[in-house]
Amino acid sequence: MKKFNGLQAIILIISLNFTSLFAQKSDWTHFRGSHLNGISTDSLVPVYWNDTTNVIWKTDIRGRGWSSPVVYGEQVWLTTATLDGKEMSGICLDLRTGKVIFDIPLFRQDSIYGKHSVNSYATPTPCIDEEFIFLSFGSTGTVCLSTSNGQTIWKRDDLRCDHMQGTGSSPILYKNLLILHFEGTDHQFIIALNKKTGETIWKVNRPSEYYERLAPVGRKAYITPIIVNSDNKDLLISNGAAACIAYEAETGKEVWRVVQGEDSTIAMPFYEDGLVFFYTSFVTPTDGEKYAELLAVRPLGLGDITQTNVIWRLKTPILQLLTPLIKDGIIYTVDSRNNLHVIEAKTGDILYSKKLKNKYNSSPVYAGGHVYLTSVKGETLVIKAGRNEEVVSENKLPGDLYATPAIVQNSILIRNEFSVYRIGKKK
């Protein structure tokens, strides 16, 4: 009996060790995480750091790019481009050490498109699964690489639009599909590719009746779509320059639309508890200044649901760059005039506001009861999640910062204009 109990104890210890290792594994596979919502389940993420404190490693990245890191297992991937935009590359780092595993030139071009001064030639964030990493540079091209050896599986450079001010929309994975959003001054479409072959599965054009009346620059959008399940249907939600449209994720068939706006949209839609939220493009009133709105929409029905399914509207300044975070019925966002707003998701009521000193183009992320907001000057404001204002810390890294952080294994990956930092407790 004692021998049996001893064996049981050994098995239990081994089991607990494996369970502990599994529990520590956390991936961040897309822009704003594996669920496209900026939320990590890690609970021991640091709230204090600088460029010498709680830095596990720092790796310099050649060129420039505002794409966020994505992580699967022990691989960290991101994109970069030369400053002139003529060469675009994918870089893979070792999560444990920060050492470069792959540095792969992907596209080279002699003629380049223009971009906005705050944009880069490597802004779209890659997406990743166990076998493949998908890296997109808009009209320049999209490529699928093997994560095991960095070899090219397939490449598409025939999908084009006039970006005018640069790219911004990141690719997303849905089942066997890779979904890409192209919304330029000339063409506006969404396309789904077979993730293993690059073959087109479906393609849908934006409704021309809403775009023909807009100035060319107003037809652009930089948004990344999301997938939500509503009424037992998987819907692709894409808030373009003139309308937010829900499509059947598997077929691209339009289900419903909410129409509003006359210029570019940048922030992603977001979702919680049966409601879709998104920033519209801006509206020009007959008197007064231009404005945009944050809308809450019940994602049900067919056709134009603008008059029936909008639950609330909150007026906001135009040119909203970051995507808000929603957690437990509370929305956290910073508008384009540097105002932090914490909002009741059911009603649109502002719980509290705080004027911040710098711009925040990086989207907020959540872990362990804290919301992390990072400014373009590399400052990360950490606040306690909830209905009452409580600043936990203010942290600083050098350099400009536009990329949204990734959270894995109780650490934060922060990319600035020069480097990637892994912030966490050293073991």
pLDDT at 20 over 60: no
Q: Is the pLDDT of residue 126 over 80?
A: yes
> Can you give the pLDDT at residue 118?
83
Side chain identity at residue 294, one-letter code? L
| Spatial distance between the Cα atoms of 162 and 51, rounded to a whole number of angstroms | 39
Confidence grade of residue 323 (pLDDT, cut at 50, 70, 90): very high
Question: Which of 85-89, 167-171, 218-222 has the weakest average pLDDT?
Answer: 218-222
C-alpha–C-alpha distance, residues 228 and 191, integer Å: 18
pLDDT at 18 over 60: no
* 285-315 confidence digits (pLDDT tens): 888 899 999 999 999 999 999 999 999 999 9
pLDDT in tens, 328-352: 999 999 999 999 999 999 999 999 9
Structure tokens at 31: 């822009």
pLDDT of residue 184: 84
At 142-186, the pLDDT tens digits run: 999 999 999 999 999 999 878 888 888 999 999 999 999 998 888
Q: Indicate whether 268 pLDDT > 60.
A: yes
**CB-CB contact of 338 with 12 (8 Å):** no
Residue whose pair of structure tokens reads 């922060």 in the numeric block? 414
CATH topology of domain 26-423: Methylamine Dehydrogenase; Chain H (2.130.10)
Tokens 């005018």 — which residue? 164
Answer whether residue 7 shows pLDDT above 90. Answer: no
Q: Is the pLDDT of residue 11 over 60?
A: no
Q: Determine how many CB atoms are found less than 10 A away from the CB of residue 101.
A: 16
**Domain range list for the chain:** 26-423
Per-residue pLDDT averaged across 416-427, rounded?
Answer: 92
The residue among 296, 309, 305 whose CA lies nearest residue 345 is: 296
d(CA 313, CA 339): 18
User: Residue 9: pLDDT above 80?
Assistant: no
How many residues are present in the chain? 427
| Residue 362 pLDDT level (bands cut at 50, 70, 90) | very high
Q: Does residue 10 sit in helix, strand or coil?
A: helix
Provide the residue type at 352 as one letter: Y
Structure confidence at residue 25 (pLDDT): 60
